[in-house]
Amino acid sequence: MADRDSADLLIEIGTEELPPKALKKLSEAFSRELLAGLDGARLAHGELTSYAAPRRLAAWIRDVALQQPDQTVERRGPALRAAFDEAGNPTKAAEGFARSCGVAVADLERLETDKGSWLMFRSEQAGRAAETLLPEIVEEALARLPIPKRMRWGDGEVEFVRPVHWVVFLHGDKVVPCEVLGVAAGRESVGHRFHRPDALSIDAPSDYADLLRSNGYVIADFAERRDQIRRQVLAQADKLGGRAVIDDDLLDEVTALVEWPVALTGRFESDFLEIPQEALITTMQDNQKYFPVVDADGGLMPAFITIANIESRDPDRIVEGNERVIRPRFADARFFWDMDRKQPLSARIEALKTIVFQEKLGTLYDKTQRITRLARNIAEQIGADAALAERAAQLSKCDLMTDMVGEFASMQGIAGKYFARHDGEDEQVAVALEEQYLPKQAGDRLPSGGVAQALALADKIDTLAGIFGIGQKPTGARDPFGLRRASLGVLRILIEGRLDLDLLALLRSAAEGLGERVDPAAAVEDCFDYVLERLNAYYQDQGIRPDTIDAVMSQKPTRPLDFERRIRAVDAFRKLPEAESLAAANKRIGNILKKVDGQLPEGVDEGLLQLDAEKALHQQVAALEPEVTRLFDEGEYQQALTRLAALREPVDRFFDEVMVMDENAALRNNRLALLAGLRGLFLRAADLSRLQ
């Protein structure tokens, strides 16, 4: 307790086991809503510490005020002109307002502002005690939790994510008298379901976590429990001479499943390692919540690490039970693996005709034929083996027809790689079958070779053109075909893979392959704009300013690698001392040219140049133009803009000394032509007038 005006607050909601995949999100939301409620009620408070375990959501908030501060309440009444008649007597409006405030008209104050004068009532409102406000704050916080489907239990009408069994609600050393979710608040928590199922009395909020740990066999802090699991798993793997594979999402889920984690090592027969290790890892992680162990080369070891929720007197029995469970699952995987290899991938091409990709876009067989043509075309452009790209595309969806992928959906592509190797396909084809789906998420690795790049691009571009072509582009949060991910994947492969391909041309080629199935205009123009828009987030994540992106975007470069070069050039240019002045000049030139009616001369007539400032600018532009044009043509935007920075002084002098809009039409148009030519050079890279 900080002082007599505040005290620590503890809220614990004790439940049946909470959904493990939702626990972390529920805890974060509970903490966020509690703080918002305290702030909304004007109850001062200190730092919050959240707790989340399988059977509890809790929060400890330091120094929560015992009472709201007193508040001055002001009510504005009718305007003075409506409050009094010409004789100065109060009108019915004034009397009604005074009556509603519980005072006489004479007791009202007058509010004078720039916009007029009004009657006003001012009163002091005493702050309410915290204990009268806290129950409602907690109930509202619980009501706003992100719970898709709430449940009822017993005969009551209360709803929550799981049945509630106890509630701890302390403000200082006193229980806040109330009911929460139909349960009377108290100071008694409950320990571990098996180790310490008895009640634990909590004297003060600061005792909570230590008491549960020391007496209750519960580590209530989610982050602390997570870290302990990680350390135990790493230690167990180290004893085996290997390295644990720790997926962050799995670690969060396991943390949400246990209150008192104990890591144990189990083993399985090494002959199961003949199965693709990704299938075994998937089974261990997704089905059993185990942590796999790999050797120094990344090869799977015949062992796993499981997290028990109990400190058993006979841990070997727990291990044996887990080993018994994993064997039949691995045996199923081996059965699928053996059966699927009895026929080559190519034998499954015809079966693709039975699976609809999208009703208007045909079957997976139809899609395969389209991406085969696209992949060959892309491979030829990037110097990859076109025949191998074609073969990879033909086989690209065949593993979807295997039992292995039917049982382990995450093996899509990976299984194709293994089956292709077994069939004796070229290694580039095998790798492409796996990498066609890359990148799967932000920051994921990219396809590693030309054949894989060609297939990955072809697959994504066909989907983009097709879905846009039938008018089903993403709206809001709805993106069933993953077009955002596909768009960013295409951009990353082209930019980070340094592939100088024309995206607009690729989309047109894809639309042609779709034939009469789609509207070509929608398939290309709308889709191109949509994909290009993904570059905003892509570059902002790298720290590029939005106006830099806008300056390049305005020119709509159709080759993403060219877009990348322009972005880097403009980003570098704006750091030059000349940048601000030249950006302003570009903006000024743009505004001038917008007002021009009719067509300007194609070039500058030197005979019409009268002033030294316009002659100097023309001479420097003419001298620079051949060199910067060559640099722009070669994609050397940064060098070109650096050279153009030398125009700052003659441009500034021009605007200081030259009247562009001269009354003489010939002089005026000649000067406008000079400015248009200058602006045209800068526009080869970006519209610098958009820089802030």
Q: Is residue 141 part of a domain?
A: yes
Q: Is residue 406 part of a domain?
A: yes
pLDDT of residue 522: 66
Q: Give the tokens for residue 294.
A: 């790999």
Say which range, 360-369, 374-383, 674-683, has the weakest mean pLDDT. 674-683
The residue assigned the tokens 């562009």 is: 660
Long-range interactions of 473-479: CB distance < 8 A, separation 24+: 473/526, 473/527, 473/530
Contact indicator for 64, 171 with CB cutoff of 8 Å: yes
On whether both 387 and 520 belong to a single domain, the answer is yes
Q: What is the pLDDT of residues 184-201, one digit of tens each?
A: 999 999 999 999 999 999
pLDDT of residue 176: 96
Rounded Cα distance, 470 and 526, in Å: 12
Q: Is the predicted pLDDT of residue 523 greater than 50, yes or no? A: yes
Q: Domain boundary residue among 184, 216, 248?
A: 216
Q: Is the predicted pLDDT of residue 2 greater than 70, yes or no? A: no
Q: Counting Cβ atoms within 10 Å, is residue 247 exposed (0-12), middle (13-18) or buried (19+)? A: middle
- Of 381, 668, 639, 641, the C-alpha closest to 503 is 381
On whether both 609 and 649 belong to a single domain, the answer is yes
Q: Give the tokens for residue 229.
A: 């699991």
**Tally of domains in the chain:** 5
On whether both 328 and 180 belong to a single domain, the answer is no
On whether both 361 and 502 belong to a single domain, the answer is yes
pLDDT of residue 208: 97
Highest-pLDDT range among 413-417, 595-599, 639-643: 413-417
- Of 59, 241, 220, 212, the C-alpha closest to 142 is 59
Mean pLDDT throughout 389-414? 96
pLDDT of residue 167: 97
The residue assigned the tokens 């299984």 is: 415
Q: What is the pLDDT of residues 15-46, one digit of tens each?
A: 999 999 999 999 999 999 999 999 999 999 99
Rounded Cα distance, 484 and 475, in Å: 11
Highest-pLDDT range among 72-76, 102-106, 492-496, 674-678: 492-496
Q: Is residue 416 part of a domain?
A: yes
Q: Domain boundary residue among 108, 125, 142?
A: 125
Q: Is residue 303 part of a domain?
A: yes
> What CATH number is associated with residue 54?
3.30.70
On whether both 152 and 288 belong to a single domain, the answer is no
Q: Is residue 94 part of a domain?
A: yes
On whether both 378 and 504 belong to a single domain, the answer is yes
Mean pLDDT throughout 202-227? 97
pLDDT of residue 665: 84
On whether both 586 and 650 belong to a single domain, the answer is yes
**pLDDT, averaged across the chain:** 92
pLDDT of residue 226: 98
On whether both 383 and 432 belong to a single domain, the answer is yes
pLDDT of residue 233: 98
Mean pLDDT throughout 391-399? 97
On whether both 269 and 304 belong to a single domain, the answer is yes
On whether both 482 and 582 belong to a single domain, the answer is no
On whether both 461 and 404 belong to a single domain, the answer is yes
Q: Is the predicted pLDDT of residue 3 greater than 60, yes or no? A: no
Mean pLDDT throughout 482-507? 96
Q: Helix-strand-coil percent breakdown of the chain, rounded to 5?
A: 55, 15, 30
Q: Is the predicted pLDDT of residue 601 greater than 80, yes or no? A: no
Q: Is residue 257 part of a domain?
A: yes
Q: Is residue 629 part of a domain?
A: yes
Strands 164-171 and 174-175: antiparallel
At residue 401 the predicted structure's pLDDT band, cuts being 50, 70 and 90, is: very high
Q: Is the predicted pLDDT of residue 203 greater than 90, yes or no? A: yes
Helix (H, G, I), strand (E, B) or coil at 219: coil
Q: Which residues pair with 14 in a beta bridge?
A: 56, 166
- Residues 6 or more apart whose CB falls under 8 angstroms from that of 672 comprise 592, 593, 596, 600, 660
Mean pLDDT throughout 623-638? 92
Rounded Cα distance, 507 and 295, in Å: 44
pLDDT of residue 663: 84
- Percent of the chain residues past pLDDT 90, beyond the cut: 71
Rounded Cα distance, 517 and 663, in Å: 58
Q: Is residue 561 part of a domain?
A: no
pLDDT of residue 669: 87
Mean pLDDT throughout 660-670? 86
Q: Counting Cβ atoms within 10 Å, is residue 324 exposed (0-12), middle (13-18) or buried (19+)? A: exposed
Higher pLDDT, 205 or 655: 205
Q: What is the pLDDT of residues 245-297, one digit of tens each?
A: 999 999 999 999 999 999 999 999 999 999 999 999 999 999 999 999 999 99
Q: Which domain holds residue 378?
A: 354-543
Q: Is the predicted pLDDT of residue 1 greater than 50, yes or no? A: no
Q: What is the pLDDT of residues 299-349, one digit of tens each?
A: 999 999 999 999 999 999 999 999 999 999 999 999 999 999 999 999 999
Contact indicator for 563, 520 with CB cutoff of 8 Å: no
Helix 222-239 crosses helix 23-40 at what angle (to 10 degrees)?
160
Handedness of CA 472, 478, 481, 485 (dihedral sign): positive
Q: Domain boundary residue among 290, 306, 340?
A: 340
Higher pLDDT, 263 or 76: 263
pLDDT of residue 406: 93
On whether both 190 and 45 belong to a single domain, the answer is yes
